[in-house]
Amino acid sequence: MGAVAVSHLHIPDGVLAWWVWAPGLALALLLLVLASRRAGHDEGVQVALRGALGGLVLAAMAVELPLGPVDYHLSLAGPLGVLLGAAGAFQVLFVVSAILALAGHGGFTVIGLNALVLGSGAALARPLYRALRAHRSPAVSLALAAGAAQGVSGLAWFAVVGLALRLGVAAAPARLGVLSGIALPLWVVGMLLEGAVGYGLGRFLAKVRPDLLPGTTAPRVGAA
């Protein structure tokens, strides 16, 4: 089997009907314009951070992790949402989805759907991190936010794939049952993996660049 991620649609062009992917692309482009307007006055350091994190997400999604009969890859949508916020994360995820389409990880027609699926989790991550941070360490907060973001993106993935099957396949109930049997365990594994990566990233940033985490500032030089 090929690489699997229950948050990214590895569907080539011509498979999904236009009434499935076209509205998703239109909505994604609209959100991209709104996100660009909101981030239009960001400082240069924020633009550079988006570029660096975008490269990290692209690398993570291109690396395949063997899990028995399938290969899995991370999305890092949760950490991206925590560090950039919903608008910045959506910009990055749209560009990453477009680059992945050029590399054969999904067709060009599903770029919008992939950005929406990943962006749904990223949008949740920062508010959840802030709420968790009141009582937990940065590492634990980022781990839980990353796992929850993957869970939400996975649910959006299920919704898109289920809709596509119901609209375009006569034997949809049977195929949905087979899909659920394969994808549900990977959904759980994905949340655990994303949470583990989020925990490590949270510990690292809390030590070396706490100012990148929401609600914290860098320690002053010479401070006790």
| CATH code: domain of residue 175 | 1.10.1760.20
pLDDT at 222 over 80: no
Which pLDDT score is estimated for 8?
A: 81
* Residue pLDDT, tens place only, 165-199: 776 544 444 455 556 667 788 888 889 999 999 99
Percent of the chain with pLDDT over 70: 82
What is the biggest distance separating any 2 CA atoms in the chain, rounded to whole angstroms? Answer: 69
Comparing 35 with 183, which gets the higher pLDDT? Answer: 35
Which pLDDT score is estimated for 223?
A: 36
67 forms beta bridges with 70
Residue 221 lies in a domain: no
d(CA 21, CA 114): 10
Beta strands 70-72 and 65-67: pairing type?
A: antiparallel
Contact 102, 64 (CB under 8 A): no
Which pLDDT score is estimated for 224?
A: 30
Residue 116 lies in a domain: yes
Residue 219 lies in a domain: no
Q: What is the DSSP letter of 214?
A: T
pLDDT at 215 over 80: no
Across 144-161, average pLDDT: 92
Reported confidence tier of residue 104, pLDDT bands at 50, 70, 90: confident
Comparing 66 with 123, which gets the higher pLDDT? Answer: 123
Contact 24, 116 (CB under 8 A): yes
Q: Which two tokens stand for residue 14?
A: 């011509």
Residue 88 lies in a domain: yes
The number of distinct structural domains making up the chain is: 1
Which phi and psi (to 5°) does residue 9 adopt? Answer: -90, 105
Q: Which domain holds residue 20?
A: 3-212
Helix, strand and coil in the chain, % to nearest 5? 75, 5, 25
pLDDT at 206 over 90: yes
Residue 220 lies in a domain: no
At 138, is the secondary structure helix, strand, or coil? helix
> Would you give the distance in Å from CA 92 to the centre of its chain?
10
Reported confidence tier of residue 15, pLDDT bands at 50, 70, 90: confident
d(CA 192, CA 199): 10
* Residue pLDDT, tens place only, 54-98: 999 998 887 777 766 666 788 999 999 999 999 999 999 999 999
Which pLDDT score is estimated for 167?
A: 67
d(CA 205, CA 32): 28
Contact 162, 176 (CB under 8 A): yes
Residue 84 lies in a domain: yes
